[in-house]
């Protein structure tokens, strides 16, 4: 970008104007990359219904967070699965999939999973 500045006098004495020209680089940062310009507000999530190893899908539907400015994209990925009691469970993360305009994760548990050691309990997925 090039800027031209010219100085003149507001007094009755007319001075010769002084002109200076200089160039500099101008860049813009996305507000989405600056935490002081972006706000993410959490939304209460709803736990899926309990399952008794019936081989039916257990679905978690993600309630989207509010992001300001709205044009900033938010990426949600699974980080870990734990139980309330132990920090690791042997369960693996299930990423959210866009299903008809909503993000959700589906898993199926059967009696064989129970026989193979998947213990009943509350599992906490951290996204």
**Cβ-Cβ contacts under 8 Å for 113 (sequence gap 6 or more):** 53
pTM over 0.75: no
What pLDDT tens digit does each residue of the chain (127 aa) get? 777 777 776 776 666 777 788 888 888 888 898 889 999 999 999 999 999 999 999 999 999 999 999 999 888 899 999 887 777 677 889 999 998 888 999 999 999 989 988 888 888 899 8
Q: How far apart are CA 83 and CA 91, in angstroms?
A: 10
Domain ranges for the chain, please list them. 2-28, 32-126
């Amino acid at each position: 970008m090039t800027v031209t500045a010219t100085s003149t006098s507001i007094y009755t004495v007319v001075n010769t104007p002084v002109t200076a020209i200089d160039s500099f680089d101008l860049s813009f940062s996305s507000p989405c990359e600056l935490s002081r310009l972006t706000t993410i507000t959490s939304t209460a999530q709803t736990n899926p219904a309990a399952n008794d190893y019936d081989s039916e899908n257990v679905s978690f539907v993600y309630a989207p967070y509010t992001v300001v400015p709205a044009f900033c994209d938010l990426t949600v990925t699974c980080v870990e699965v734990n139980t309330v009691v132990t920090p690791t469970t042997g369960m693996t993360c299930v990423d959210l999939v866009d299903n008809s305009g909503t993000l959700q994760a589906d898993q199926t548990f059967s009696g064989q999973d129970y026989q193979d050691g998947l213990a009943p309990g509350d599992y906490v997925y951290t996204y």
